[in-house]
Each structure stands twice: as structure tokens, then as C-alpha cells.
């Protein structure tokens, strides 16, 4: 049966990552896990402070001013002070681990054979080093997908459908496939809710690539920003479904 299916062209080749890609994937996933632990530690610290009515009056948390404010906090019981210090030290330790993995990720990505693709993806708006490296490490060769809808379907970024006869009912995205790539793509896609423009930071990243890549990135930005405004004008619920980010990645490598 396999021989007949192969002769008929009905078999689809399965992509198998090599050792270099597996190592890069392990690094991005380790960084994601450590970031999750850091977020949990910060939430526990904030909850502990809130329990005793200690609220920071500054503009934003986790800045140098916020850490100076933390050093000034005092509790009535010695054991409470110890617990507080343990929470603070845990946040600082995990932050150092995240920073260390970020440095290692930057070094590993720049030295890998996938760096030209990673650098090209970083020319797109909303795509930093972590996002580009995650896409390349998890998906591999994007050209193995025949179209952008096929890529989106494999990542679970297409709406679910429950149809019966002539009735079609579509719901939330299926969320099948690789959750790591789906998360970074959704985060990247939300940057297109703002008007299309070339910031200085984005322009510096784009200038490292060829003129063709820069042209694709700019056309993708204009198209997706216009699509978001169109969806918003039609009454699409803001915050429910962001514009597709898979199209821009596929167009860059096709």
C-alpha cells in the first residue's frame, strides 16, 4: 500500500530536525520555561506585598526605582521579613538566569547556519531575535509548506468549524500544532494594530538584509496594518483574533 501511495504521489515527507536545530530548539524552550518561572515568582512577590497593603506608587514595576522601593519595605515580624527577602531573591535569581539564556541565545543564533533566515525574519515588524529563532528552530524549512494557509493550519491559527449540511458555524482557532510558534506569532501580529511605519530600531535591523527582503517586509507591514483596520471597521471584536502573522513569514521565504 505504501508503494502504491508513493507511486501516486499521495505520501507527504516528514521533516526531521538535525542536531543543530534540536539544540537551538532546546535553548529557546529553556528560555521560555525560565521566563514562565520568573513571571510566577514576580506574581507571588506582588501578591505578598498586596496582602500587607504595600503598593508601589511609581509608574511601572521591575525598574531600578521599583527595586529600590523594595529594599525599603519593612514588616512587623522577623519571619515575614525573611519570607519577603526570599521572594525578592528568587525574582533576582530567575532574572539573572533569563538574562544569561538571552545572551546564550544571541550567541548561538548568530553562529548557527540558520542566521541568514533569522536575520531576514527580524526585518519584519514585531519580530525580534527570540521570535525569529523560535520560528526557525521549531518549524525548520518554511518552504515545505505549499501555502500560508497550510502553515497556519499546521500551527492551529485557523478557525474551528462545526458544519452540518448547508449550515456553517466557525468558532475559535483550533490551537493544534506547535504552541511555541503559535504564541510568538500571535504576539508579533498584535504590533500591526498600529499604523504602518518604519521606526529607527526596525530600520537598523532591516538594513542588515537585502533590498528584496526589506521590500517584502514593508509590503507585509502595509498589508497587515490595512487588514487590521478593515477588520476593525467591520466590527470585529478587538482582542479576539489578531491579524494573521503566518502570511508574512511565508511570503518572506517563498
Query: Using one digit for the tens of pLDDT, what is the confidence trace for 118-169?
Result: 999 999 999 999 999 999 999 988 888 888 888 888 888 888 888 888 888 8
Give the mean pLDDT of the chain: 89
Q: What is the pLDDT of residue 50?
A: 96
Cβ–Cβ < 8 Å for 213, 118 = no
For 28, 46, 122, 124, 193, the CA distances from 206, given in Å and listed in that order, are 23, 39, 7, 8, 20
The DSSP result for 157-194, as a single string, is -SEEE--BTTB--EEEE---S-HHHHHHHHHHHGGGGS
Query: Using one digit for the tens of pLDDT, what is the confidence trace for 86-108?
Result: 999 999 999 999 999 999 999 99
**C-alpha angle 251/199/65, rounded to 5°?**
120
Cβ–Cβ < 8 Å for 251, 147 = no
Please report, rounded to a whole number, the percentage of residues in the chain having pLDDT higher than 70.
Answer: 93
Least confident interval from 7-11, 194-198, 245-249:
245-249
CB burial of residue 107 (10 Å; 0-12, 13-18, 19+):
exposed
> What are the sequence ranges of the domains in the chain?
19-112, 129-253
Residue 61: CB atoms within 10 Å? 14
pLDDT band at 239 (very low <50, low <70, confident <90, very high): low
Comparing C-alpha atoms, which of 28, 183, 22, 21 is closest to residue 105? 28
H-state helical runs in 59-112 = 64-71, 78-111
Amino acid at each position: 500500500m505504501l508503494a502504491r501511495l508513493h507511486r501516486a504521489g499521495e505520501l507527504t515527507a516528514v521533516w526531521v530536525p538535525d542536531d543543530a536545530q534540536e539544540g537551538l530548539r532546546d535553548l529557546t524552550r529553556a528560555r521560555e520555561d525560565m521566563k514562565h518561572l520568573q513571571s510566577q515568582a514576580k506574581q507571588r512577590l506582588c501578591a505578598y506585598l498586596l496582602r500587607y497593603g504595600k503598593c508601589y506608587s511609581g509608574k511601572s514595576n521591575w525598574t531600578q526605582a521599583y527595586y529600590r522601593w523594595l529594599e525599603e519595605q519593612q514588616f512587623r515580624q522577623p519571619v515575614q521579613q525573611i519570607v519577603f527577602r526570599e521572594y525578592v531573591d528568587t525574582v533576582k535569581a530567575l532574572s539573572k538566569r533569563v538574562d544569561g539564556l538571552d545572551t546564550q541565545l544571541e550567541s548561538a543564533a548568530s553562529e548557527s547556519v540558520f542566521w541568514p533566515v533569522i536575520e531576514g525574519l527580524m526585518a519584519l515588524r514585531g519580530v525580534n531575535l527570540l521570535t525569529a529563532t523560535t520560528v526557525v528552530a521549531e518549524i525548520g524549512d518554511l518552504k515545505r509548506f505549499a501555502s500560508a494557509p497550510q502553515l497556519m493550519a499546521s500551527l492551529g491559527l485557523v478557525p474551528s468549524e462545526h458544519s452540518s449540511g448547508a449550515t456553517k458555524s466557525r468558532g475559535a482557532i483550533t490551537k493544534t500544532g506547535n504552541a511555541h510558534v503559535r504564541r510568538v506569532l500571535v504576539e508579533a501580529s498584535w504590533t500591526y494594530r498600529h499604523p504602518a511605519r518604519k521606526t529607527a530600531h526596525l530600520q537598523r535591523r532591516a538594513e542588515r538584509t537585502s533590498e528584496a527582503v526589506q521590500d517584502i517586509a514593508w509590503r507585509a507591514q502595509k498589508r497587515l496594518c490595512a487588514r487590521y483596520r478593515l477588520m476593525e471597521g467591520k466590527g470585529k471584536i478587538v482582542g479576539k483574533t489578531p491579524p494573521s502573522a503566518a502570511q508574512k513569514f511565508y511570503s518572506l521565504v517563498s
